[in-house]
Amino acid sequence: MRNLLIVLSGPSGVGKGTIVKQLMSRGRYCLSVSCTTRSPRVGEEDGRDYFFITTEKFLKMIDEGGFLEYSNHFGNYYGTPKAFVESRLLSHDVILEIEVDGALKVKAAHPEALLIMILPPDKERLRARLKGRGAESDEKIEERISRMDYEVSRSGEYDYTVINDDLTAAVSEIENIIKSKKEQI
């Protein structure tokens, strides 16, 4: 059985990080650690949550072909380090937690990748989760919410859409999707 490249996307605040944490606790997956030029949030650690790098270093990695994909999102660069993912895929199913444009670039380069879009039950609940997380200003929260319509508009290009209403149900739905895809490859 080959290992799977699993790509999770969804609006900021929908619960991707929370879902990934639960999936990772199963011990079966490897999580790709992206590079970003944004500043770390309280509690985030370099090398665990992201590789926090300068714009100069990011641009150099682009030139060197070091990214599987990258995009500029909310004024910062985010990218998936190619060598990291390729080496982990040799032994594990690898999860990428990335936004839509990057995810569709991964699908174009790796058609066998499994793309799952995670959406909230509605915008109000998304707003409440972003406010509850307390990491961004109201202005940044509205910027992130307004991006949701774009993400929904591209969700038809994903293999599956999962609504994160009840967390446990969403995690088990994702695990079932992964299991059935692995049985096909």
CB of 10 to ligand ADP, least distance (A): 6
Q: Identify the residue whose tokens are 């919410």.
A: 145
**99 scored as a contact of ligand 5GP (CB under 6 A):** yes
Q: Which stretch binds ligand ADP (CB under 6 A): 32-40, 108-116, 126-134, 151-159?
A: 126-134
How far, in Å, CA of 59 to CA of 19, rounded?
A: 31
The bridge status of strand 5-9 relative to strand 114-119 is: parallel
Binding residue (CB under 6 A) for ligand 5GP from 15, 66, 79, 120: 79
Q: Is the dihedral of CA 49, 12, 31, 104 positive or negative?
A: negative
Query: Interface with ligand ADP includes 3 (CB under 6 A)?
Result: no
Distances (CA, A) of 41 to 6, 49, 102, 164: 25, 10, 22, 23
Length reported for the chain:
185
What's the closest the beta carbon of residue 108 comes to ligand 5GP, in angstroms? Answer: 13
Task: Give the nearest residue (CB) to ligand 5GP.
Answer: 102
The residue within the footprint of ligand 5GP, chosen from 37, 84, 94, 102 (CB under 6 A), is: 102
Q: Which is nearer to ligand 5GP, 79 or 181 (CB)?
A: 79
* d(C-alpha 64, C-alpha 137), whole Å: 35
Asked whether position 38 contacts ligand 5GP by CB under 6 A, the answer is yes
Binders of ligand 5GP among 57-76, rule CB under 6 A?
Answer: 69-71, 73
